[in-house]
Structure 1
Amino acid sequence: MPEIISMGEALVEIMREKIGAGLDKPEVFIGPYPSGAPAIFADCAARLGGKVGFVGTIGNDDFGKVIQDRLRFDGVDLTYFQSKPEATTGVAFVAYFSDGSRKFLYHIRNAASGVIDKSRIVSSYFKGARFLHINGSAVSINQDWKETIYLAIETAKKNGVKISFDPNIRPEILGVDKVRALCQPIIENASIVFPSGEEATMLTGKKDPEEAVFALLEKGTDVVVLKKGSLGSTVYSRGTKYDVPAFEVEEIDPTGAGDCFDAGFLVSLIQKRSLKESARYANAVGALAVTRKGPMEGAPFPEEVDKLITLSKK
């Protein structure tokens, strides 16, 4: 039985080979790479030694096989993962630019990744789990996913499972008010929230990220881990604050780094490290995640994380 359950979109990513090549003209693509924020999280947590279950949907096609093979190879439990023969697997096309920005073109909502039903939320699957990890991108897919995730939260709470939440929703697509409305029921039940500074202020209406963090703690969240990219992370809980520096690496592909960070933090907590130690471990996991092209390709194994942490101490 899993210790961590993740649920949401599973898709493949197909990216431009050349930096600066947009999506509006013929150019070379590379891929497909397995992707989808909740799936990246699940795969990374499994690679790090976590017992992980993933709930999602793929099509009965070659792209779906890419995703399923990767998750299965890395040890993710797929008991409630399914293939829909009548649907095609979700796809994201990605372009990278020299200023570090990216442009995405998604086929998710109307693909297999948008298919879910409440029958896959089975109470017995949650018994013994420590965390249900929710990603904002999943709750924003469509109404079916929103209702199923809310049901999963209720089921998790009834079984004593803690909720962790990464509010990864783009306000430019849905609007800030709708994002807050979608996230509010999750935040009210979350033990751990993993926002960026921008996400924290968006969710709370506060202008300063630290004020936003305190507002989240006042709402009942036990721990807020503020992700700051190349500046590291800061962990807040009631009465404590830990600033944890980043690791210096060469960035190749930033996609999925935040999801890998989340995975590193939760696996580290389950392995009984402290909040500060878990943030350092998560920083190392997130740093290694950007060093290879492909959203899941940089997800590290424990020995790689230990090596990076050891080298940084010399």
Structure 2
Amino acid sequence: MPEIISIGELIVDVMRMHVDEPLDVPGTFAGAFPSGAPAIFTDQCALLGRSAGFIGAVGDDDFGRMDIRRFEDHGVDTSYVAVVDEVSTGCAFVTYFSNGDRRFLFHIGNSAASHLPDVPAEYFEGCRWLHICGSSLSAGERMRDGCYEATERAHRAGAKISLDPNLRPELLGGEAAVRSVLDPVLRRATLVLPSATEAEILTKTDTPEAACEGLLERGVEIVALKRGEEGCRVVTREGSLDVAGYPVEAVDPTGAGDCFDAGFVVGLTEGLSLEECGRLANACGAAAATVRGPMEGSLTRGEAFRRAGI
């Protein structure tokens, strides 16, 4: 059975070719690309050499076949990736702006992505980490309930839970709703990997320091605070350390955070120090941003460890 599992949306992304092109005007797009936050995470874990499995669903169509082929090519266990013939593979249209903002138009809730398969409890035996993304918890009640059930099953099996808040307040009706939806996973989480803004929203605080402290008070053991090109800050009850980032020329930041997550979780699985985990995570996240397409810049194990100096 896989030692790292994630669950949620397995979709495709269709992306604006240039920044500052809103979605409400005609324009050109690139893609489709295999995508979905938990899927990007799982794919990068497998490329880093760990046993990784995914729970999700695609349509019986070309996009779905592309997603499954990408997983199989990279060694992801697809035993519980369902193929649904009555609805199509989910998709997201994405655009970025020069001020750092981004806009998404999702087709997930009524797509195949929400048709999560039934998974026996035995699948979680031997699982060391279950990774949950806030985007999955924002994608409708069916997917949310599937994530909650997986969290409890993995917890009972002795696995640790990692959570990327990946907040989508616009899909949930505001910050209070976000906190409510994430709480059942947050209370089980060993590792949380937020941005500063996400951490502040989760804890109702107004500084990253207070937010990290608030997460530790909730029972989280490790906070890996993403800081973009500056790298990350790793916070535990024993203290904090800043890990410098890797300067790159960003082409497409989609999926960079998910690759960061994978690097950090794989580092913990390998028994690396927290500083080394941060370096591996930063290397994976930086590389992902240099190529158009969420999974297209994912690193192999050898390249990731070389870039991280491990």
Match of 1:19 in 2: 19
Question: One-letter code of the match for 1:7?
Answer: I
Match of 2:275 in 1: 276
Match of 1:232 in 2: 231
Aligned residue runs from structure 1 range 1-314, under 5 A: 1-116=1-116, 119-120=118-119, 122-174=120-172, 175-310=174-309
Q: Identity percentage over the alignment?
A: 47
Moved more, 164-173 or 67-76: 164-173
In 1, Cα distance between the equivalents of 2:93 and 2:141? 24
In 2, Cα distance between the equivalents of 1:96 and 1:225? 25
Quote how far apart the aligned CAs of 1:194 are.
0.5
Partner deviation per Cα, 1:230-271 (whole Å, 9 max, x = no partner) = 111011111121110111111110000000000001111111
Question: One-letter code of the match for 1:40?
Answer: I
Quote how far apart the aligned CAs of 1:178 are.
0.6
In 2, Cα distance between the equivalents of 1:256 and 1:40? 6
Q: Given that residues 124 and 153 in structure 2 are in contact (C-alpha distance below 8 angstroms), is that contact kept between their aligned partners in structure 1?
A: yes
Question: One-letter code of the match for 2:293?
Answer: G
Q: Given that residues 89 and 111 in structure 2 are in contact (C-alpha distance below 8 angstroms), is that contact kept between their aligned partners in structure 1?
A: yes
Q: Which runs of structure 1 show a deviation greater than 4 angstroms over 4 or more consecutive aligned residues?
A: none
Quote how far apart the aligned CAs of 1:173 are.
3.1
In 2, Cα distance between the equivalents of 1:166 and 1:19? 25
In 2, Cα distance between the equivalents of 1:205 and 1:144? 27
Q: Given that residues 250 and 290 in structure 2 are in contact (C-alpha distance below 8 angstroms), is that contact kept between their aligned partners in structure 1?
A: yes
Moved more, 240-249 or 253-262: 240-249
Counterpart of 2:219 in 1: which secondary structure?
A: coil
Moved more, 91-100 or 193-202: 91-100
Partner deviation per Cα, 1:252-305 (whole Å, 9 max, x = no partner) = 100000000000011111111111110111111111110110000011112222
Quote how far apart the aligned CAs of 1:30 are.
1.6
TM-score by length of 2: 0.96
In 1, Cα distance between the equivalents of 2:190 and 2:72? 28
Quote how far apart the aligned CAs of 1:201 are.
0.6
Counterpart of 1:80 in 2: which secondary structure?
A: strand
Counterpart of 1:288 in 2: which secondary structure?
A: helix
Quote how far apart the aligned CAs of 1:19 are.
3.0
In 1, Cα distance between the equivalents of 2:97 and 2:150? 38
TM-score by length of 1: 0.95
In 1, Cα distance between the equivalents of 2:274 and 2:232? 11
Counterpart of 1:268 in 2: which secondary structure?
A: helix
In 1, Cα distance between the equivalents of 2:144 and 2:98? 35
Gaps of 5+ in 1: none
Q: Given that residues 253 and 289 in structure 2 are in contact (C-alpha distance below 8 angstroms), is that contact kept between their aligned partners in structure 1?
A: yes
Aligned CA RMSD, in angstroms, stands at 1.4
In 2, Cα distance between the equivalents of 1:16 and 1:141? 22
